[in-house]
Amino acid sequence: MGRVRTNSGPAEDLLIELDRDAGVPLHRQIEASIRASIRAGRLRAGASLPPSRTLAVGLGVSRGVVVEAYQQLVAEGYLASRSGGYTQVAASMPPTAAGTGSAASMARPAARRAGFRVDFGYGRTDVSQFPRAAWLRSVRRVLTTTPNDRFAYLDGRGVPELHGALCDYLDRVRGTSSVPGNVVICSGYGQGISLLIQVLVRHGATRIALEDPSSDDDARVLAGAAGLDVVGIPVGPDGVEVDALHRADADAVVLTPSHQWPTGGVLSAAARAEVIRWAKRRGAIVIEDDYDAEYRYDRSPVGAMQGLAPDHVVYCGTASKTLAPGLRLGWLVVPPQLVGDVAAAKVLADRGSPVLDQLTFADFLARGEFDRHLRRMRPVYRRRRDALLDALRTHLPDLEPAGVAAGQHVVAWLPPDLDEAAVVTAAARHGLGIHGVGPYRIAGTGPGGLIFGYAILGEAAIAEGVALLATAIREVRGT
């Protein structure tokens, strides 16, 4: 392949092959091809790329497709725009530029952490896929068009633009019944649950119920520190057991009804209706953590509980699993009688979340970029989920996967002859990081299980990790 040396070099010099039947957007294929050439050293620092119009003609695509690919690579640090419209390979590569990429797989996520060969740690999203170019366009629009008064102190609820954009999105996609005046912006779920617990205590609450098992250490620790009794409600295959909730004598309950963490159960329509009846009868509050709701693969959409009873349900959402946890963007749709108190608690906490980030996300939502990003990521995570299930069927058929229809993790229940803690310890000796279900039980009893977080692992790493686990299990069994 001839090296690209001048701005007028022919498109063929880049050796970009487009597969229009691959199901991958053309601009993503162009990005992946150029990125791989830079990583492999075929395109060296300072090399000039063809003008977008020239490359578009050579590839038989619209100029906008090439422009979007170039902009994404500029945002990632692979390319640099020069005066006069020249686009060149950047002088220094981004720190993540290791290995190679392809149009089908896009950037490969890291498979190692904390000394493990493979780490199935949960709760992580593939931040290498953050839509930098689209986000940058929103930032530029916001900086250009936002009135000056938006950058002054605002009330604790956040900026009105984001309230409206979130309500439009949540009502359309999640089936909520929201109004902008009831939305409070926070810096993620952790702060959101902290604000809610403060307000519940102020309103006289004495006991809060959590799913059991549950990873909600935020709620457990904060509720205990605030003087609330914490009671666990057992979770079955279809989510929380409502009969146990009736016996709990709680003033509030925290649920993950769309994809229970960690079991993956979906709370049935009948159970949701019964929870709402319980809340209305007791004057209680349901805190709905809409965890993993956007990533579903093998089932129809499940609407949010908040739409059934907006006066008794607080809806909690964040951008942490869909975009990146580093954004620190979360939102609460609060019953009208609690909005003022929650907003006041937010002001006391930090005087409000960053205005520029809120306005950027509002623009990103309103222009459909959030929907486009989710559509792009669903098949990526589904392929990784499928690779995990295939590997479990091949190497560990006696493990029972659960909660596979959605989300970014799978639980696999262990057969009775395997001790969960022993398997986790043996896996670590073989270089595999994995968590058991046991530490997330409030009552401390229940079947053994393993939590497989697959969101940041490539398919080869997933297969390697399950093979390591199979070796560890053979060791535990003494076979």
> Tens of pLDDT along 371-410?
999 999 999 999 999 999 999 999 999 999 998 998 999 9
**Cα separation, 378 vs 406, whole angstroms:** 10
Residue 278 contacts residue 246 (beta carbons within 8 Å): yes
346: left (phi over 0), alpha (psi -120 to 50) or beta: alpha
Q: Which fold has domain 11-89?
A: Arc Repressor Mutant, subunit A (1.10.10)
Q: How confident is the model at residue 299, as a pLDDT?
A: 73
Residues 46-75: tens digit of each pLDDT: 888 888 888 888 888 998 888 888 888 887
DSSP labels, 358-375: HHHHHHHHHTTHHHHHHH
pLDDT, tens digit, 9 for 90 and up, residues 80-94 = 876 555 788 886 655
6 pLDDT above the threshold of 70: no
Q: What is the pLDDT of residues 175-195, one digit of tens each?
A: 999 999 999 999 999 999 999
- Predicted confidence at residue 20, as pLDDT, reads 85
Select the highest-mean-pLDDT range: 221-230, 305-314, 400-409: 305-314
pLDDT band at 364, cuts 50/70/90?
very high
pLDDT at 106: 37
CATH number listed for the domain at residues 133-367: 3.40.640.10
Q: What is the mean pLDDT of residues 421-428?
A: 96
**Residue 353 predicted with pLDDT over 80:** yes
What integer pLDDT is reported at residue 25 of this predicted model?
A: 85
| pLDDT class of 9 with cuts at 50, 70, 90 | very low
Q: Where in the chain is the domain with CATH 3.40.640.10?
A: 133-367
Q: What is the mean pLDDT of residues 245-263?
A: 93
**Any residues with CB less than 8 A from the CB of 395 and at least 6 apart, and which?**
466, 467, 469, 470
| Predicted TM-score (pTM) above 0.85 | no
Buried b (16+ CB within 10 A) or exposed e, 444-466: eebebbbbbbbbbbbbebbbbbb
- Joined together, the tokens standing for residue 118 give 């493979």
Which residues belong to CATH 1.10.10.10 in the chain? 11-89
Average pLDDT over residues 236-250: 90
Among the four given CATH numbers 3.40.50.9100, 3.90.1150.10, 3.30.2310.20, 3.60.10.10, the one describing domain 118-124+373-477: 3.90.1150.10
In the chain, CATH 3.90.1150.10 sits at 118-124+373-477
